[in-house]
A and B are shown apart, each in its own frame.
Chain A
Amino acid sequence: MSIETSAHSPLVADLARRFQEPPWLVQRRERAFVLYASMPSPKLEETDLRNRPWVVESIPSATTGGAGAAAQALLEGAKAAGGAYVYVRDGVTIETSLPRTLAEQGVVLLDLHTAIDQHPERVRRYLYSVVPAEESKWAALNAALWHGGIFVHVPSGVRVNSPIHFIYEETMAGKGGLPRSLVVVEDRASLSFAEAYLCHGERQEGVVHSAVTELVVGADANVTAACLSRYGKGPTNFFTRRAKLADNASVDWVIGDVSDGFTVGLVESRLEGPGSKSTTRGFGLGYGRQRLDFTASMDHFGHHSASDITLLGVLRGRANSTYRSSTHIERGADEASSEQHDRMLMLGSRARADAIPMLLIDENDVQRCGHAASVGRIDENQVYYLMARGIPRAEAERMIIWGYLQPLVDVLPVEPWRNEVASWIDGELN
């Protein structure tokens, strides 16, 4: 097999050798690499990627140092919240922990490389099934070269009471993070999954991070998926997260980003099953010269499927964010319903925000599709009111901003993670 692999990509060959990967996987990686190499860096509707460099060189096989402060806090949070987690730094798996009670229920929690070893058929069946390499240059890059990842499998009927965590940290030693999460929740099972992508330090342009999360959710199963990110200046960051929902399944996304990086992100639910439901609660705080192009998407196929998107962007400094909420009611998704609420709050005169609601309806029989969007600044009457009670301006503004953010931060399923995100936000608001 090593014959063609090296022809296309020594990087794929390197991973194949390092993890003793089966031929099917090497072939998938190879095909994806060809796609990646052949796809242009595109001009998106709101974001021009044509001049962004793609420097994909070596893949580190080791990492040094200990967990950074944020990773440490999230790790401790994961330990406090039941102790089920995988921790990866610079693509290298550092720690995997699965409490015995979960293992006894048949729950599988492994780093993705080990999962391919131990559960090859299961992984093969689902890997790339929700986020295929074909959909974008960055999805192809991840499909070709992912390393460091998590595999979660929850058997039918098993309700996992404490959350499962994935912490990915990219330090200055990293060459671009390409983590992949594959989460399979069988019929009538339930799971709370929380993942964080932490990137520290300022890096040269050209480095590319591309994270992919695939969520397969069976009939009558419920999943809460919380995804946090901190991206730094320099690289181009991508994340692609998608869930596929069977009959009456539900997925609640909580997306939180506190960054000054250049990021293009997608979170999507494919509501395939009748009666399936999904919500996305997204909040972002952009600062510095942050550029974020974020899409929360709901794709309705199932009869009577329902979705709700709430996005809140807070922008300061020269941050510039586009929040797109996109709902597509496909033909056949009769009696589907959807709601979108977007709010952008700009602090200072140099921040920019756009809220773009998109609604595509190919079905005649739709229950309700509502959307509300607002882009604005802090209400000076509110600031005046708080100041008139002795509260200094800066604190008044912080209270008002937190008034918007708190309800979204509060839906994060892990309390120590809520506190950690709160400290990130406070740190950047001060």
Chain B
Amino acid sequence: MSSPVLTIEDLRVSVEDKEIVKGLSLQIKGGEIHAVMGPNGTGKSTLASALMGHPAYSVTSGRVTLDGEDVLTMSVDERARAGLFLAMQYPAEVSGVSNANFLRTALNARRGEGNELPVIKFHRLLQQKMKDLNIDPSFAERYLNEGFSGGEKKRNEILQMSLLEPKIAILDEIDSGLDIDALKLVADAVNQLRSPQTGFLIITHYQRLLQYIVPDYVHVMMQGRIVKSGDKTLAEYLEANGYDTLKRELGIVDETVGAEA
């Protein structure tokens, strides 16, 4: 299996006719971890949602390819089956659908027809993954995200990621609402999947998570663009000096999208 490449070229995204992401380019290869940092309201989740194909986010120009295939013409489920994964900031709750049933359907969809995992094997795999993430076994039979705490939802996203073994995993604020133990488990799961077969885009606004998942590249997003890129020392710099120093350096008064207009 060759190493995947996700290429984003000059991407522009609008929500309700308002441009939020304003020309963003980024290339993520298998084995690489890219962190996208930035204060709230700078367009990070919009980037993630547009990559996954959420219907509320319309791409007005630019290109996105995964291993040379045009991602933007694919439906949401096609993107997922092609190997794109988004751990969502706000995962939906679905009553009446058990977590296990959902996970099995998702895994089999990813594996493709004729290649489904037998039920017994699936349950063994699920139990192992749940154990790794310190998830209670009762989790499997609970309804999908219904009544889950913030931390449980995040762990469920990571559980899905480790089951589906995507080519490119985008984690949107996976660290919010997690205590330090849960954060370490999440980091372990990411590090376990870290291989030339998977590339990561990790969205966060704190440096905390990046102590456990050491990124190869750090990008800072403001006003819907990447305003600065560097290696992991950029994250450390931001931790020490805050976003304000960087803003002064770049001459940005208000970093949120729309403020510049």
- A-to-B contact residues, CB < 8 Å: 379-382, 384-393, 395-396, 399-400, 402-407
A-B contacts at CB below 8 angstroms, number: 76
Q: Which residues of A contact B143 (CB under 8 A)?
A: 403
Q: How far is the CA of A391 from the CA of B54 in the complex (A)?
A: 14
Contact A388 B94 (CB under 8 A): no
User: Which residues from 66 to 105 on chain B have a C-beta closer than 8 Å to any C-beta of chain A?
Assistant: 75-77, 79-81, 86, 88, 91-97, 101-102, 105
Q: How far is the CA of A381 from the CA of B97 in the complex (A)?
A: 15
Contact A399 B97 (CB under 8 A): yes
Contact B97 A390 (CB under 8 A): no
Q: Which residues of A contact B88 (CB under 8 A)?
A: 385, 388
| Distance from B207 Cβ to chain A, minimum over Cβ atoms (Å) | 28
Q: How far is the CA of A313 from the CA of B36 in the complex (A)?
A: 45
| Distance from B106 Cβ to chain A, minimum over Cβ atoms (Å) | 4
Check B137 for interface membership: any CB of A closer than 8 A: no
Q: How far is the CA of A392 from the CA of B164 in the complex (A)?
A: 16
| Distance from A356 Cβ to chain B, minimum over Cβ atoms (Å) | 23
Q: How far is the CA of A390 from the CA of B109 in the complex (A)?
A: 6
Check B110 for interface membership: any CB of A closer than 8 A: yes
Contact B92 A391 (CB under 8 A): no
Of the candidates B53, B92, B106, the one having the most CB atoms from chain A within 10 angstroms of its own CB is B92
| Distance from B257 Cβ to chain A, minimum over Cβ atoms (Å) | 22
The SS class assigned to the A binding surface is helix
Q: How far is the CA of A384 from the CA of B80 in the complex (A)?
A: 11
Contact A395 B96 (CB under 8 A): no
12 A-B contact pairs sorted by A residue (CB < 8 Å): A385-B88, A387-B76, A388-B52, A388-B79, A388-B86, A389-B80, A389-B106, A392-B109, A395-B105, A399-B94, A400-B94, A402-B96
Check B258 for interface membership: any CB of A closer than 8 A: no
Tell me how many residues of B have a C-beta within 8 Å of chain A: 28
Check B177 for interface membership: any CB of A closer than 8 A: no
Q: How far is the CA of A379 from the CA of B96 in the complex (A)?
A: 14
Q: Which residues of B contact A385 (CB under 8 A)?
A: 88, 91-92, 94
Q: Which residues of A contact B97 (CB under 8 A)?
A: 399-400, 402-403
Contact of B81 among A379, A390, A407 (CB under 8 A): A390
Check B160 for interface membership: any CB of A closer than 8 A: yes
| Distance from B161 Cβ to chain A, minimum over Cβ atoms (Å) | 10
Q: Which residues of A contact B96 (CB under 8 A)?
A: 400, 402-407
User: Which residues from 243 to 258 on chain B have a C-beta closer than 8 Å to any C-beta of chain A?
Assistant: none
Q: Which residues of B contact A404 (CB under 8 A)?
A: 95-96
A-B pairs, top 3 by smallest CB distance, nearest first, are A403-B96, A389-B106, A390-B80
Known: A382-B94, A388-B52, A402-B97. 18 other contacts (CB 8 A): A379-B92, A382-B92, A382-B93, A384-B54, A385-B94, A386-B106, A388-B76, A389-B106, A389-B110, A389-B160, A390-B109, A391-B80, A393-B77, A399-B97, A400-B94, A402-B96, A403-B96, A404-B96
Check B55 for interface membership: any CB of A closer than 8 A: yes
